Amino acid sequence: MSELDLITETPSSTPKVNLLGLTREQLEQFFVEIGEKKFRSQQIMKWVHHFGVDNFDDMQNVGKGLKEKLKARAEIVAPTVTHFKESTDGTRKWVVQLDAKNSVETVFIPDGKRGTLCVSSQVGCALDCSFCSTGKQGFQRDLTVAEIIAQVWIAHRSFGTPEHKGARHITNVVMMGMGEPLLNFENVVNAMHLMRDDLGYGIAKKRLTLSTSGVVPQMYELYDRIDVALAVSLHAPNDELRNELVPINKKYPLKELMKACHAYVDKATDSRRVTIEYVLLEGVNDNFEQAYELIELLKTLPCKINLIPFNPFPHNPYKKPNGMRVRAFQEVLQKAGFVSPIRTTRGDDIDAACGQLVGQVQDKTRRSERWQAKINPQVVEVRPAKG
């Protein structure tokens, strides 16, 4: 049952509806159900998302009667920020506590006039990419719409200035934090609708990016539900290596993934290209032969290739290639006509770089326990699962 499903019940028998997680259409329905006009949704959305207000009494153009009705039936509640750090390069990281045992991380990355917020969609990750620290934490649950949009709300409030009074700090949002967004499909899509809405955060479609490891069926469904930018975590130019690095490739191999990428480009009404994410691992996927394989794989796909030198984390077997090796790989791609920038590592002094987000996960998969046993078998003993 969703938050909105509860609004037709009496206030005494139902939890309050968290308005933070409702889209414009859902908020309009909420007001109709409580005997108010639809336009009230516009007033409330502006107070919540533009001004960061979470107290109905602070909404100056809302009448006392409506305020009392809202207090009885609704609330505006975001998760608690338990930890905040700011890097020397201006990168910000929040640890957001969702419940007693689970938290996620959100990162803001400034780059000149561009400010990108990296948002999480799951507690942990249902996938287990071998080079990603999030995957080693295991998986607990999906985030609700309110928990996803709260990350934007928290970051927006941290700058202290409403959008209409000063420069926009958050210009871009990427669903590239903890979790695989397409495995939390409905909640992520609804949250992105809120991000795009002018009464929400007004993020343009080309500045709102969903990153996937290749959940092919949901990629097609995404194209029919919302128009946003697409990034694909590729990391290998052939199935054999990708099966090792990105295990979901065993279910949806490269031929199927590339077909889904082409469908995205073909469906777009404007000039569109896919962003290919490629983490460079020393001696694993960074040689010239693999660069030429990558060129062959992507030669007919309009795309740019983001090259991401690996960000190490404790006990991981992979290493970051040196700068000369990274530039040599880039040069091969550029000579073939690909736009292939090298992503500058940001926020690594606060563990906010790509692949370093871990949060706190009450792991129901026991993947974290197995990982700890592997790296330190003298300390951690994996108990057999109960049958």
**Mean pLDDT, the chain, whole residue set:** 87
Residue 316 to residue 339: CA distance in whole angstroms: 30
SS3 207: helix
Residue 156 to residue 147: CA distance in whole angstroms: 14
pTM for the full predicted model: 0.86
More confident residue, 67 or 269: 67
Which of 14-18, 50-54, 89-93, 314-318 has maximum average pLDDT?
Answer: 50-54
Residue 246 to residue 285: CA distance in whole angstroms: 13
Give the amino acid at 64: K
pLDDT at 294 over 70: yes
pLDDT at 349 over 90: no
Q: Quick: pLDDT tens for 212-247.
A: 999 999 999 999 999 999 999 999 999 999 999 999
Active site residue 75: no
Active site residue 129: no
Quick one: which of 79, 36, 41, 74 has its CA closest to 55? 74
Instruction: Give the ranges where 4-127 is alpha helix by DSSP (H).
Output: 24-33, 40-45, 64-73
Give the confidence band of 361 by pLDDT, cuts at 50, 70, 90: very low
Q: Which residues of 272-299 are buried (b: 16+ CB within 10 A; e: fewer)?
A: bbbbbbbbbbbebbbbeebbebbbebbe
Give the confidence band of 350 by pLDDT, cuts at 50, 70, 90: low
Taking CA atoms, 141 is separated from 147, 360, 380, in Å, by 12, 12, 24
Q: Quick: pLDDT tens for 191-219.
A: 999 999 999 999 999 999 999 999 999 99
Taking CA atoms, 37 is separated from 43, 56, 193, 200, 324, in Å, by 11, 17, 22, 19, 63
Quick one: which of 226, 223, 248, 222 has its CA closest to 235? 248
Query: ∠ CA 160-26-108 to the nearest 5 degrees?
Result: 30
Helix (H) or strand (E) holding 304, with range, is: strand 303-309
pLDDT at 8 over 80: no
pLDDT value of position 381:
43
pLDDT at 283 over 90: yes
The mean-pLDDT minimum among 9-13, 80-84, 198-202, 344-348 falls in 9-13
Q: Quick: pLDDT tens for 91-150.
A: 999 999 999 889 999 999 999 889 999 999 999 888 888 888 776 778 889 999 999 999
Q: Which residues of 161-178 are buried (b: 16+ CB within 10 A; e: fewer)?
A: eebeeeeebbbbbbbbbb
Catalytic-role residue among 28, 105, 180, 277: 105
pLDDT at 356 over 90: no
pLDDT value of position 343:
85
What Rg value do the Cα atoms of the chain yield, rounded?
22
pLDDT at 380 over 60: no
Calculate the CA 100 to chain-centre distance: 22
Give the contacts of 60 (CB within 8 A, at least 6 positions apart). none
Q: Which residues of 89-226 form beta strands (DSSP E)?
A: 92-97, 103-111, 114-118, 122-124, 139-142, 172-175, 208-212
pLDDT value of position 128:
83
CB 215 within 8 A of CB 182: yes
Q: How many residues does the chain have?
A: 387
pLDDT value of position 271:
82
Cα distance from N-terminal residue to C-terminal residue, the chain: 30
Domains of the chain and CATH, by start: 4-75 (1.10.150.530), 80-371 (3.20.20.70)
pLDDT value of position 107:
94
Give the confidence band of 11 by pLDDT, cuts at 50, 70, 90: very low
SS3 266: helix
